Amino acid sequence: MRLMSVVRKGAPRRAPRLSGGVDFAEPSRAIPTDRILIGDCVEQLASLPPHSVDMVFADPPYNLQLQGELKRPDDSRVDAVDDAWDQFESFEAYDAFTRAWLLAVKRVMKPNATIWVIGSYHNIFRVGALMQDLGFWILNDVVWRKSNPMPNFRGRRFTNAHETMIWAARDPGAKGYQFNYEALKGGNEDVQVRSDWLLPICTGGERLKDAQGRKLHPTQKPEALLARVMLSASKPGDVVLDPFLGSGTSAAVAKRLRRHFVGVERDETYAAAAAARIDAIEPLPEAALVAPPSAREAPRVAFSALVDSGLVTPGLELTDAKGHVRAVVRADGTIALVNAATLAVGSIHRMGALAQGAEACNGWTFWHVEQEGRRHPIDVLRARLRAEMGIRSEE
């Protein structure tokens, strides 16, 4: 992979694509995808077209404020983050830096794009406050619980065993942002995915090393963390921006998951190592990345369509999950409550609400049908009809 050299006025020279190329179609956007831009992130982002990226992952300097060397009880030195890029002369200077890159990122985000920012207690609260000041809308804070954190050597604080990620939409009231709820739930044994993620820190063969065998980048993130972020909030073909690319974890994961990437990194040593790392990545087969359609994307199916298809027959008895409430399916796709004080006929939703004395009800999950001695929600039949509709549309 060849890199885009820095141009101080913010207008990067045209650079070749990844060596070997990426074997999926280039999106029809005037944006230099699958490239690393070398230079200051604010200057480089100014060269990108507005509203051109689908997701942002930002791992900015944490401003750790380390003073002096950090040592273990045996007096050996801890390889802590003491690089110049993590040092700011004051909180005010750090806030000005944060505000500048957030504004630059917001300009290139599509209206339905989302942003993930990771940090520690040193900076994440300042970043979050500035994000709100700038009009971002926080959707979640996600805690990355480290299964193998660095111990607290001085013994004067709790072991710092987590980092926090802020997930936010570009603007308040944003609609249509990507969240792969069904796929995440399906991969979590049909249980909603929580906002605390237990994952190990980057170790072993995944950790990039320099010529002396030392870790190349002090804050390299694990690929598993980035994979979960992208599988949660993007889809194949999307453009993922990382304004602080570092060792290139986000770009490597993006390529593997068939997303496009744009990375910005001012350190040429990090950028070169990231480029070599990305070149070695092979995208996963498309079949391994096809996500099930969300409930909003799935074709609308009325209950009467189940009757018309024969999956539900007039006269069939429906019950609630425990079999206490009963209703009979009518030929026109409405249902009638059984043993109601007065004749009650209506939609599966209205009759479900009436049976519970509630204002509203999702009839697809409230009403059940008995098959082979077990009760199943009628939503199972709707899913079967949708699958059949998909097969017929391909014939």
Buried b (16+ CB within 10 A) or exposed e, 209-229: eeeeeeebbebbbbbebbbbb
Task: Extract the tokens encoding 54.
Answer: 């689908």
**Whole-model pTM over 0.75:** no
CATH 3.40.50.150 domain extents, the chain: 35-66+80-288
The C-alpha angle 77, 81, 82, rounded to 5 degrees, equals 85
Q: Which CATH code fits 35-66+80-288? A: 3.40.50.150
Buried b (16+ CB within 10 A) or exposed e, 42-80: bbbbebbeeebbbbbbbbbbbbbeeeeebeeeeeeeeee
* Burial of residue 394, with CB atoms counted within 10 A of its CB: 0-12 exposed, 13-18 middle, 19 or more buried: exposed
- CB 142 within 8 Å of CB 189: no
Of 192, 212, 215, 193, the closest CA to residue 204 belongs to 215
Q: Which residues pair with 114 in a beta bridge?
A: 55, 169
Task: Extract the tokens encoding 258.
Answer: 């068939």
Task: Extract the tokens encoding 238.
Answer: 């999307």
In order along its 395 residues, the chain shows pLDDT tens digits of 656 644 333 333 333 333 333 334 444 447 889 999 999 999 999 999 999 999 999 999 988 754 554 444 554 444 544 556 456 778 898 999 999 999 999 999 999 999 999 999 989 999 999 999 999 999 999 999 998 887 876 778 898 899 999 999 999 988 899 999 988 988 888 889 999 999 998 888 888 878 777 777 777 899 999 999 999 999 999 999 999 999 999 999 999 999 999 999 999 999 999 999 999 999 999 988 876 666 666 678 899 999 999 999 999 999 999 999 999 999 999 999 987 667 899 999 999 999 999 999 999 999 999 988 889 999 999 988 887 876 444 43
